Chains A and B, each alone.
Chain A
Amino acid sequence: MERHFHTELRQLKDQILAMGGYVERAIEEATQALIRREPERFAKVMEAETKINQAHIDIDEHCFSLLARQAPLAADLRLILALLKINTDLERMGDQAVNISHNAKKYLEEPPVQFLLEITKMAFEVRSMVRDSLDALVKEDGQLAREVLKKDDSVDNLKNQMFRDLIALMKKDPSTIEAAIDLLLIARNLERLGDHATNIAEDVIFVTTGKDVRHKPRES
């Protein structure tokens, strides 16, 4: 017979998964609005963000209540602590998706410059990082979480490459500066999304193995 507490823990995981779904959608809508030049999609980012904010509050309350009532230990304690942190990361990811929308709105008012392919790649990687880290949480799959950590390097590399290329473009053609700066900011927002997804993966490794892998050299 499953204890009532463990049923509640499963419900808590479901809440985090649903929140992760909203985050993925917010990133998807913000970047597609930019790439396909469809500004009407920005409203969907705001809709998702409202849901993310509500989930943020609900999940904190649920964790708080479980900590107070159940005094969890060992794996259960690690899970609740990790969910509290993952909750914060997901909320910040919603904010970053909104930032992307703001920057993309400005970008769409300017004549376009290149580099949308890199943005597409970064957005794709970041969304898969979110999905994989939350999958890893549900399946308690530490190996999958470690794969997410590796993907962050490719997101960072894409951002660095974009920074170099955009600076070169601005030097060559100052009329591109406004649009290029918007893209720089968006690349920066996407990179931050990758960092939050990395935090989530690190928390999942903590849940599944009890090991704290933060601020340590990555295992290859």
Chain B
Amino acid sequence: MTNTRPILEVKKLNAWFGDHHAVRDINLLVNEREVVACMGPSGCGKSTFLRCLNRLHEEVPGATVDGTVSLGGQDIYARNVDPVIIRRKIGMVFQKPNPFPALSIYENVAVGLRLAGVRNTRILNEAVEKSLRKAALWEEVKDKLKAPGLSLSGGQQQRLCMARALAVEPPVILMDEPTSALDPISTAKIEELIIELKKSVTVIIVTHNLQQAARISDRTAFFLLGELVEYDLTSKVFTNPKDTRTEQYITGRFG
């Protein structure tokens, strides 16, 4: 945590599903190259919050957003901004590994660059290898790049999804419970990977696994009923949280 330059600034963010007010007045500052963990009970709004950060929330019919999210000083909700461009800068990895079923391992990683107009094979080859290395998958797949993405194990598929997200070199990656469908060994690999990624990327991760948040994040945000209850250094939140609701949640005394 040597660098404390803010990269993402959320101000008065509110989100609705129709009448349901799912995210309420969130203000939060994320520093460059930090890992931020978002935790809270089911339905607390943390995933919706995450999906507001790269304009995925608005894709749900009836969903609306209000407030600002600034990436490097630019509001991603400004009128002239194309959400597709934003999603290239703020990548996402989902709960269930979702490689493109019809595509090979290679094409799964290259797809983002191809969509961005890259045609040069040498550039694509280099980017695919670099991304797979960053996702700690290269050694396992370098001899079968033409095999379908779905031929990999669950943990490998999730790392493939990370490689796919990394290929377009986004400054920020969002992860929505990326290890909840994985076994402990694959989970440990993904966690190591996230810590490694911090050298170049900012990661915002939603997790139900408190120990995972404690292990990998620099800061932790605790959400409850759509509100941000506490946002502080992870070492503080997990040893001596300020708010009694945070304390009750992480010690399992909730409700």
Which A residues form the contact surface with B (CB < 8 A)?
3, 5-6, 71-78, 210
Q: Are A76 and B251 in contact (CB under 8 A)?
A: yes
Residue numbers in B under 8 Å from A73 (CB-CB): 210, 214, 238-239, 250-251
User: What is the bound-complex CA distance between A3 and B254, given in angstroms?
Assistant: 10
Known: A5-B252, A6-B253. A71 touches B211 (CB 8 A): yes
User: What is the bound-complex CA distance between A74 and B251, given in angstroms?
Assistant: 7
Nearest CB on B from A70, distance (A): 9
Q: Are B240 and A78 in contact (CB under 8 A)?
A: yes
User: What is the bound-complex CA distance between A76 and B241, given in angstroms?
Assistant: 12
User: What is the bound-complex CA distance between A73 and B246, given in angstroms?
Assistant: 11
The number of residue pairs between A and B whose CB atoms lie closer than 8 Å in the complex comes to 30
Interface size on B, residues (CB 8 A): 13
Say if the beta carbon of B75 comes within 8 Å of chain A: no
Residue numbers in A under 8 Å from B239 (CB-CB): 73-74, 77-78, 210
Q: Are A74 and B250 in contact (CB under 8 A)?
A: yes
Say if the beta carbon of B247 comes within 8 Å of chain A: yes
Which 9 pairs show the lowest CB-CB distances between chains A and B? A210-B240, A73-B250, A76-B251, A73-B238, A74-B250, A74-B247, A74-B251, A3-B252, A71-B211
Apart from A73-B210, A74-B240, A75-B247, what 7 extra A-B contacts exist at CB < 8 Å?
A73-B238, A73-B251, A74-B238, A74-B241, A74-B247, A76-B251, A77-B239
From B214, B241, B246, B252, residue with most partner A Cβ within 10 Å: B252
Residue numbers in A under 8 Å from B241 (CB-CB): 74
Nearest CB on B from A140, distance (A): 13
Nearest-neighbor residue (CB-CB) of A81 within chain B: B239
Which residues of chain B (161-175) have a CB below 8 Å from chain A? none
Nearest-neighbor residue (CB-CB) of A76 within chain B: B251
Q: When each residue 168-191 of chain B gets 1 if its CB lies under 8 Å from chain A and 0 otherwise, what string results?
A: 000000000000000000000000
Residue numbers in B under 8 Å from A5 (CB-CB): 252
Q: Are B211 and A72 in contact (CB under 8 A)?
A: no
From A74, A75, A76, residue with most partner B Cβ within 10 Å: A74
Which residues of chain B (223-253) have a CB below 8 Å from chain A? 238-241, 246-247, 250-253
Nearest CB on B from A131, distance (A): 27
Nearest-neighbor residue (CB-CB) of B246 within chain A: A74
Residue numbers in A under 8 Å from B252 (CB-CB): 3, 5-6
From B238, B250, B251, B252, residue with most partner A Cβ within 10 Å: B251
User: What is the bound-complex CA distance between A90 and B246, given in angstroms?
Assistant: 33
Which residues of chain B (186-210) have a CB below 8 Å from chain A? 210
Nearest CB on A from B29, distance (A): 24
Nearest CB on B from A211, distance (A): 8
Nearest-neighbor residue (CB-CB) of A77 within chain B: B239
Residue numbers in A under 8 Å from B247 (CB-CB): 74-75
